[in-house]
Amino acid sequence: MKNNVLGIEFGSTRIKAVLINERAEVLASGSHEWENKLENGYWTYSLDAVWTGIQDAYSKLCKDYNEPIYNLDGIGISAMMHGYLAFDKNDNLLTVVIFILFLLNFVIQTF
């Protein structure tokens, strides 16, 4: 695989993963539908829903690609413009919606 990039997008109703080549042609894609929920007066997504969703979307992308993905030349991650995750010093979640900085852990574990 040469010059391929993985894109992951956390939308408000769906997590999407796409693999493209250097010509921006889509090689494979996968998605996972999800829904926010009202907790303590805030609309949010649970961390379990985040992990389940990204694993499902990436798994579907890999199945669509139909061959192992060993190397990537880049990874792009985007999320809803109105969300982020912030943690306290004990790694407790302080906010109620998503931002993608925590995905570095996923990327390191996956690749």
DSSP assignment of 78-99 equals: EE-TT----B-TT--B-SSS--
pLDDT at 101 > cutoff 50? no
Q: What are phi and psi of 23, to 5 degrees?
A: -95, 10
Beta bridge partners of 5: 20, 74
30 vs 1, higher pLDDT: 30
Cβ-contact 37, 83 below 8 angstroms: no
Instruction: Let me know the angle formed at the C-alpha of 13 by 21 and 75, rounded to the nearest 5 degrees.
Output: 25
Give exposure, 49-75, as e/b (b: 16+ Cβ within 10 Å): bbeebbebbbebbbeebeeebeeeeee
Cβ-contact 4, 20 below 8 angstroms: yes
Q: Rounded to two decimals, what is the model's pTM? A: 0.71
End-to-end alpha carbon distance in the chain:
14
pLDDT tens per residue, range 57-93? 999 999 999 988 888 998 888 876 555 566 678 877 6
Amino acid identity for residue 83 in this structure? G
pLDDT at 97 > cutoff 50? no
Q: Find the range with the poorest average confidence among 2-16, 46-60, 69-83.
A: 69-83
